[in-house]
Amino acid sequence: MNRVLIILLVLCAFTGFGQPKQFESWTEFAKTKFEPKYYEKIEEYLFYPTFTPELKALVGKEITIEGYYVPFAPEGGDYIIISQYPMSQCFFCGGGGPESIAEVNFKKDPGKFDVDDFITVRGKLKLNTDDFDHVNFILTDAVLESK
């Protein structure tokens, strides 16, 4: 094989050139626009999401998210909340926005987590605009990849 071709193949392998772009969940979630909207049912203003076409195209497809476990799901519930940031900086306690958290519904019980455990989960993306009991980004049929 030609020596120049071999060098090009090696460079492509190390630089990632020619490989498909990896989905960056938090980066993509951050492209969501949020505007205040008044909801008669609860008599409050909440941030209403407008999802990007790229994000809408991923609905029902498997994605992977890495983040911190934060204990803000209802006790005895069948899901957890994962955050881009540790608990002190997350949406509930710190300065993170609604784009920095996701709900994770596991296929099977993943066991217990400690606050700020850094975990990786994989599941099917669901987008939520009107169920006030859940967050905007949801993974269903999720599995724990690493803890």
Q: What is the dihedral of CA 47, 62, 133, 93, to 10 degrees?
A: -60
Count structural domains, the chain: 1
pLDDT top residue among 87 and 118 = 118
17 within domain boundaries: no
Q: Which domain holds residue 142?
A: 24-146
Q: What are the pLDDT digits (tens) for 91-129?
A: 777 778 899 999 999 999 898 899 999 999 999 999 999
pLDDT band at 2 (very low <50, low <70, confident <90, very high): very low
Q: Give the pair of three-digit tokens for residue 17.
A: 């050139």
Residue type, 8: L
The answer to whether residue 6 sits within a structural domain is no
In a domain, 109, yes or no: yes
Q: d(Cα 143, Cα 122) in Å, to the nearest integer?
A: 5
15 falls within a domain? no
Residue whose token pair is 């993974």? 139
- Domain holding 124: CATH number? 2.40.50
